[in-house]
């Protein structure tokens, strides 16, 4: 989505998205753009360029990280959220080029619309159809998921049609990425709610404030054997991390065409380092290596870990224990296993390594090419950040699945530019 996708705020150039794909410098304009209607192959090529298909690989990780944040294994709702996100993402791409068609005719005449390979009406129609399809898929996951998807779609359209040329552009892109992760969390929860299929797990025999508490097995059976099944709000901390990264990428992209900004890449570099440290510190600082889904707020465990009076409750059908605090009666999961902790460190390191050096180069030499590479690095870094967030929540399998998209994105980016 261009709500997912960030195409810069500057009128002339922008990356596709703070959400999207793999980056790099924009291709040189074709001095002799192909004439329209030269065959089916040319038509397919034009639509793949319009949709920036190589950028799509940054989308599924949002829903997987959202599912992990609420303590559930990916399921039907997660799949519906991924489908909805992909549709809304592509709707934003098409709408973005339709809105920028006059500017692209001057600055990027090789693009499908100004080159005449795709008509403006077709691009706008595709944006409308894809938006409707995304909302329909979200509706299949329940009304709460539809509400989040509607907010996401509205943000995408508002960004493309107006906000990207204003100071609110980066904030709109950050909101879109955060909403996308929350869509995954909400759809995963509501699609397994009572009346919509099997619940996430058996209820314990240990009441919490007079109520039984439902526990789930860890998504990948590698981390904590028992994890509390939480509501969508537990995914807010992870959504904010993803949104903060997106804000920084979008802020840099506003200088992509002209360059000349040193302060912005430096500020975003500092933000990137802070986010990486926060993901690791949130895990490292919990006593007993307990890793609740929230970053100290919004998830179970922050209050419980602060009190010494915890008792161990055997987990039914598992090898491990869930702990419950006698004062707060909040359930918290076991600590991450050593392999999971190592994966978390590796994914966070990949995030910092992908986003950091290009930002430093752009700060030292704020030329347009290096600024464009910084934007591309920030977009590519979205995938390891999603993997780290999923792993940090106790779902290393989801993290590995997200990281498996990296080589696919790189391969396709060689054929179709993501920007």
Q: What is the pLDDT of residue 207?
A: 43
Domain interval for residue 120: 40-413
Residue 221 domain flag: yes
Tokens of 12: 């002339």
Helix (H) or strand (E) run with residue 227 in it: strand 226-228
Residue 143 domain flag: yes
Q: Give dist(CA 218, CA 165) in Å, integer.
A: 44
Q: CATH code at 213?
A: 1.10.357.140
Q: What is the pLDDT of residue 275?
A: 95
Q: What is the pLDDT of residue 418?
A: 61
Query: pTM for this structure?
Result: 0.74
Q: Give dist(CA 175, CA 177) in Å, integer.
A: 6
Q: Give dist(CA 253, CA 179) in Å, integer.
A: 21
Positive/negative CA dihedral, 374, 375, 381, 385? positive
Cα angle 292, 293, 299 (rounded to 5 degrees) comes to 85
Q: For the chain, how many structural domains are there in total?
A: 1
Residue 1 domain flag: no
Q: What is the pLDDT of residue 270?
A: 96
Q: What is the pLDDT of residue 280?
A: 87
Helix (H) or strand (E) run with residue 180 in it: helix 169-190
Q: Give dist(CA 238, CA 235) in Å, integer.
A: 6
Across 218-244, b (16+ Cβ under 10 Å) vs e yields: bbbebbbbbbbbbebbbbbbbbbbbbb
Residue 172 domain flag: yes
Render each residue's pLDDT in the chain as its tens digit; 419 residues: 554 444 444 434 444 443 443 333 344 444 444 444 455 668 888 998 899 888 889 999 999 999 999 999 999 999 999 999 999 999 999 999 999 999 888 888 988 999 999 999 999 999 999 999 999 999 999 999 999 999 999 999 999 999 998 999 999 999 999 999 999 999 999 976 554 444 444 444 444 444 444 444 444 434 333 355 678 999 999 999 999 999 999 999 887 767 678 899 999 999 999 999 999 876 543 333 344 444 443 333 333 333 333 333 444 433 333 333 333 333 333 356 688 889 999 999 999 999 999 999 999 998 888 998 898 889 889 999 999 999 999 999 999 999 999 988 888 777 776 66
Q: What is the pLDDT of residue 281?
A: 79
Tokens of 369: 């090419």
Q: Give dist(CA 386, CA 306) in Å, integer.
A: 28
Q: Give dist(CA 375, CA 372) in Å, integer.
A: 5
Number of Cβ within a 10 Å radius of residue 102: 12
Residue 140 domain flag: yes
Residue 187 domain flag: yes
Residue 395 domain flag: yes
Q: What is the pLDDT of residue 414?
A: 72
Across 264-287, b (16+ Cβ under 10 Å) vs e yields: bbbbbbebbeebbebbbebbeebe
Residue 377 backbone dihedrals phi, psi, to 5 degrees: -65, -40
Residue 145 domain flag: yes
Q: What is the pLDDT of residue 189?
A: 93
């Amino acid at each position: 989505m261009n709500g997912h996708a960030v195409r810069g705020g500057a009128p002339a150039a922008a990356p596709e998205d703070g959400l999207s794909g793999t980056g790099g410098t924009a291709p040189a304009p074709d001095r002799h753009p192909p004439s329209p209607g030269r065959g089916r192959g040319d038509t397919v090529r034009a639509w793949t360029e319009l949709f920036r298909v190589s950028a799509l690989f940054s989308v599924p990780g949002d829903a997987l990280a959202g599912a992990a944040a609420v303590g559930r294994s990916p399921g039907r709702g997660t799949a519906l959220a991924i489908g909805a996100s992909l549709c809304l993402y592509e709707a934003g791409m098409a709408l973005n080029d339709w809105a920028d068609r006059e500017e692209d005719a001057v600055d990027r005449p090789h693009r499908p619309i100004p080159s005449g390979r795709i008509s403006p009406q077709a691009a706008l129609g595709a944006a409308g159809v894809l938006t409707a399809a995304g909302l329909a898929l979200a509706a299949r996951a329940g009304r709460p998921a539809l509400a989040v998807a509607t907010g996401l779609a509205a943000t995408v359209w508002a960004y493309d049609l107006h906000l990207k040329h204003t100071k609110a552009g980066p904030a709109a892109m950050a909101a879109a990425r955060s909403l996308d992760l929350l869509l995954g969390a909400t759809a995963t929860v509501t699609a397994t709610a009572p009346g919509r299929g099997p619940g996430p797990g058996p209820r314990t025999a240990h009441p919490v404030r007079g109520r039984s508490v439902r526990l789930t097995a860890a998504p990948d059976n590698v981390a904590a054997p028992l994890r509390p099944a939480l509501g969508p709000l537990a995914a807010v901390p992870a959504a904010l991390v993803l949104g903060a990264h997106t804000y920084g990428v979008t802020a840099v992209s506003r200088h992509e065409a002209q360059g000349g900004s040193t302060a912005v890449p430096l500020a975003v570099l500092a933000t990137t380092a802070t986010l990486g440290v926060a993901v690791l510190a949130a895990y490292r600082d919990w006593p007993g290596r307990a890793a609740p889904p929230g970053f100290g707020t919004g998830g179970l465990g922050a209050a419980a870990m602060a009190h010494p009076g915890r008792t161990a409750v055997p987990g039914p059908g598992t090898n491990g224990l869930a702990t419950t605090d006698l004062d707060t009666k909040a359930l918290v999961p076991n600590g991450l296993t050593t392999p999971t902790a190592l994966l978390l460190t590796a994914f966070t390191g990949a995030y910092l390594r992908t986003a950091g050096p290009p930002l430093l180069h752009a700060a030292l030499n704020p030329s347009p090419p290096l600024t464009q590479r910084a934007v591309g690095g920030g977009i590519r870094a979205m995938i390891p950040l999603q993997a780290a967030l999923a792993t940090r929540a106790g779902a290393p399998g989801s993290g590995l699945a997200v990281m498996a998209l990296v080589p696919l994105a790189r391969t396709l980016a060689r054929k179709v530019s993501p920007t």
